[in-house]
Amino acid sequence: MTRKVSNHPEKRPVITLLDDNLANQIAAGEVVERPASVVKELVENAIDAGANNITVIIDDAGQERIQVRDDGCGIEREQLELALSRHATSKIKTTEDLFSIASLGFRGEALPSIASVSHFNITSRIPEADEAWEISTNGGKNVTVKPAAHPVGTTVTVDDLFFNTPARRKFLKSGRTESEHISDTVVRLAMAHPYVSFKLIMDGNETLNFDAAQGELLEDTLPRLTDFMGRDFISNAITIDTERGDLRIKGFVGLPTYNMSTARRQYLFVNNRPVKDRTLLAAFKYAYHDLLAHNRHPAGVLFLDIPHREVDVNVHPAKAEVRFKNSNDVFALVRGGVRRSLEAHSQDVSDTGRTQALRMFQTNNQPLAGHQIEAQFGSRGTHSGSHSGMPLGSYSESSSYAGQVSEAQMPQYGRSSGFDLGSQPSALGQADYTQQASQASTEAYNEHPLGAAVAQLHTTYIVAQTEDGMIMVDQHAAHERLVYERLKKQIHEAQVERQPLLIPDVVELTKSDAALVADHAEELAVFGLEVEQFGPAAIAVRATPALLGQMNCKTLLNDLVEDLHELKKGVTLQSQLEETLSTMACHGSIRAGKRLSIDEMNAILRQMEQTPNSAQCNHGRPTYVKLSRNDIEKLFGRR
């Protein structure tokens, strides 16, 4: 149905100019989404004014009062009224300035927009003046200016926010939620400006207090980050500092085994401006491919320094998003810089498992049960979780092996299957089968980072002795990573060895699943898995990757079907290499419950020392936990 516009002059729409107050309220709808938006705009103005100390005071989650005090340069009396005018700003003067914005605020919309929906007051004094001046307005009307008492700097007070737009108040969340948004806003700005002191007082209680960082080195900001990120992050953080041309990425990221269930511990900044940019978030997450499960997230604080002319911060009213002139360069810098730092620490594991183990010993004063040991590796009930990895093109020379364990070091590893521990358990008990490690073998490997194997615990964990403590290894998680990295290397070099089956293994599936696998037969062949459709509802497996040894083809295909169903439309299996490789590596690895000899355990330890990313399995769980001699002595009260 077409809507007709009347030709009668008295009914024809008339274009008129909005009055200033209505225009400000419309702008407020874009700039002032919630109390936290007001805090952000006012604190950014304080930072732009050169403040060294900023105090934010909040009452009733910001609805009753928001006050921001600073010791910046202040505002002259003649400019106070101009500050409440739309599009009045000291930040830009020419069109060219708009394309090279160095300040946090610049539009000149924030103050008049906030003033239009609150009882608003600015009190300010410049260093050269003997007295301060204040300007007040109610909903943008009845503006008054008068002398006042105030130290050098500015205090902005916003009372009864949205008092004249009650519909806007209805869209606010609970007081707790709004307070959390305010805290998060202050935290992000405080992180972005470590040389400014911040205080946050909510309902009379000081909830945040951050002193200015001392020293100019990147590491000098770490103590302050403890307040934001927690001590666990600091003890598991890796320093990032990489440059490419005019771009620089710096900051701190967590080890892969220190990961989170959400992305809430990711703080990203562009030229000291807190942002939530998709390019940066994707690059950061991508750097952890094949190190984390897809439902786990890394933690980090990253600062991107980029020429102001190379980034547009004027793409969102709240300035929360940016647009890069060369987003590919930014993505490559962030992804590459983080990945290289992770590779440099690829055999380091977070100390959270160690801390939890010590706490459990000290709290319970009881022997650890099996499920408590599993908890230290994050493996309790998660073995069948999803897989994650990295695309084929991401494999670099820096990820190649420093060397390979010889056949002599792996006497029980079949040559055809590479890592397959096919030896049969002896008829003796487990203690006899794993043997007592000889003094000679212990001394031979004691100096190695992962030490010398001395026992197997619950046919699942390898216990090793080092010069300064002990190591406990999850044999399945560790071996899964070894298999994954070796298979990835073979695929990268197009040298995947296949093991033809004398009799094809026929696996029954649903018609749709069989068709799905058959459609990807050519791509699966790249991984050494040869399949073809066998009737309408079955798949014949004709060859498997030799590296994986004997495997249950039915279970493997069922898991691969799940991976294929998760592929997005138009995405090739090649680009989802990590999913397929992780699935195969999991099926070709030593399982929990497999008895190993001392030689076999030592072979795994030596392989781990030579394999990139061996500190975590393909799901991001730690492969080993380390206790120093000091830790052990503390458990027995020797220290």
What's the Cα-to-Cα distance from 333 to each of 186, 246, 251, 270, rounded to whole Å? 28, 11, 13, 13
9 within a domain of the structure (yes/no): no
Domain closes at, from 168, 190, 210 = 210
- 46, 45, 41, 53: which is closest to 196 by C-alpha? 53
Residue 70 tokens read as: 């600073």
CATH number for the domain including 115?
3.30.565.10
In terms of domains, do 59 and 195 share one? Answer: yes
Residues spanned by the domain of 135 = 20-210
* Confidence (pLDDT) at 518: 94
358 within a domain of the structure (yes/no): no
Say how far residue 9 (Cα) sits from the centre of its chain: 60
CATH number for the domain including 536?
3.30.1370.100
* Confidence (pLDDT) at 161: 96
357 within a domain of the structure (yes/no): no
* Confidence (pLDDT) at 202: 98
Place of tokens 């794993």: 434
- State the DSSP code for 413: B
Domain closes at, from 210, 227, 250 = 210
Say how far residue 138 (Cα) sits from the centre of its chain: 44
With a CB cutoff of 8 Å and minimum separation 6, the contacts of 508 are: 537, 538
Environment class of 511 (CB within 10 Å of its CB; exposed 0-12, middle 13-18, buried 19+): exposed
Let me know the angle formed at the C-alpha of 185 by 230 and 282, rounded to the nearest 5 degrees: 75
* Confidence (pLDDT) at 1: 53
In terms of domains, do 609 and 579 share one? Answer: no
DSSP 466-522: ETTEEEEEEHHHHHHHHHHHHHHHHHHTT---EEEEEEEEEEE--HHHHHHHHHTHH
* Confidence (pLDDT) at 587: 74
In terms of domains, do 34 and 170 share one? Answer: yes
In terms of domains, do 596 and 583 share one? Answer: no
Domain closes at, from 322, 344, 366 = 344
pLDDT, tens digit, for every residue of 260-316? Answer: 999 989 999 999 989 988 889 999 998 998 888 778 899 999 999 999 889 887 766
527 within a domain of the structure (yes/no): yes
b or e along 429-457 (b: 16 or more beta carbons within 10 Å of the residue's beta carbon)? eeeebbbebeeebbeebeebebbbbbbbb
* Confidence (pLDDT) at 578: 64
In terms of domains, do 505 and 451 share one? Answer: no
pLDDT, tens digit, for every residue of 235-263? Answer: 899 999 999 999 999 999 999 989 999 99
Residue 318 tokens read as: 């709240």
In terms of domains, do 63 and 146 share one? Answer: yes
Beta-bridged to residue 210, according to DSSP, are: 198
Strands, sheet with 452-457, edge to edge from the N-terminal-most edge strand: 452-457, 461-466, 469-474, 624-628
CB atoms within 10 A of CB 476: 22
In terms of domains, do 198 and 262 share one? Answer: no
What length is written for the chain?
639
Predicted model pTM: 0.72
Dihedral, 426, 431, 432, 435 alpha carbons, nearest 10:
110
b or e along 232-269 (b: 16 or more beta carbons within 10 Å of the residue's beta carbon)? bbeebbbebeeeeeebebbbbbbbbbbbeeeeebbbbb
In terms of domains, do 82 and 123 share one? Answer: yes
With a CB cutoff of 8 Å and minimum separation 6, the contacts of 349 are: 255, 257, 615, 616, 622, 623, 624, 625, 626
CATH number for the domain including 225?
3.30.230.10
b or e along 179-211 (b: 16 or more beta carbons within 10 Å of the residue's beta carbon)? bebbbebbbbbbbbbbebbbbbbbeeeeebebe
- 129, 148, 151, 121: which is closest to 76 by C-alpha? 129
In terms of domains, do 466 and 595 share one? Answer: yes
In terms of domains, do 306 and 167 share one? Answer: no
SS3 224: helix
Q: Which residues of the chain fall below pLDDT 50?
A: 92-93, 97, 106, 380-422, 424-434, 570, 572, 574-575
8 within a domain of the structure (yes/no): no
SS3 219: helix
* Confidence (pLDDT) at 440: 60
* Confidence (pLDDT) at 201: 98
In terms of domains, do 130 and 27 share one? Answer: yes
d(CA 609, CA 621): 17
491 within a domain of the structure (yes/no): no
- 552, 483, 563: which is closest to 523 by C-alpha? 563
CB 152 within 8 A of CB 145: no
350 within a domain of the structure (yes/no): no
SS3 543: strand
488 within a domain of the structure (yes/no): no
* Confidence (pLDDT) at 368: 52
Q: How many domains in the chain?
A: 4
In terms of domains, do 249 and 121 share one? Answer: no
